[in-house]
Amino acid sequence: MKKIALVGAAFAFPFLALAQTVNSIQDLASFIINLINNVATPLIFALAFIVFIWGIFQYFILGGHDDSKKKLGRSLMIWGIVGFALMLSVWGLVHILTGTLNLNNTQQLPQPVQQVHG
């Protein structure tokens, strides 16, 4: 568990350094949402996929005639699917939050006024 915390902290240090340039609450919220969308979501989707694939491997290949390995494989597949469903829900909530609070990173520049000569 300590190794996981150490690796997580090592990945978080660059983002903490970027957090020092945050000027407003909206910038902070946008930074957190981008961190969730660009780092956490793909990482957890990948972990859920790996757990699901490992469950398939346990159930079909290693499980053969061993019911305990089949049971373990089935539970890993279920947890992988639960992970997918949970991450889709979180991802959807983040997009709802982004749209509601207008935290999209696309900035629309004002268009110059064109004079009509006539």
Whether 4 maps to a domain, the answer reads no
Whether 14 maps to a domain, the answer reads no
What is the domain count for the chain?
1
Q: pTM for the full model?
A: 0.57
The whole domain housing 91 covers 25-100
Question: Tens of pLDDT along 88-118?
Answer: 888 788 778 878 877 665 555 556 666 666 5
Question: Higher-confidence residue: 103 or 61?
Answer: 61
Q: What is the CA radius of gyration of the chain?
A: 22
Q: Return d(Cα 30, Cα 11) in angstroms, integer.
A: 19
Whether 20 maps to a domain, the answer reads no
Whether 108 maps to a domain, the answer reads no
Question: Tens of pLDDT along 8-38?
Answer: 666 666 665 555 555 677 777 778 878 877 8
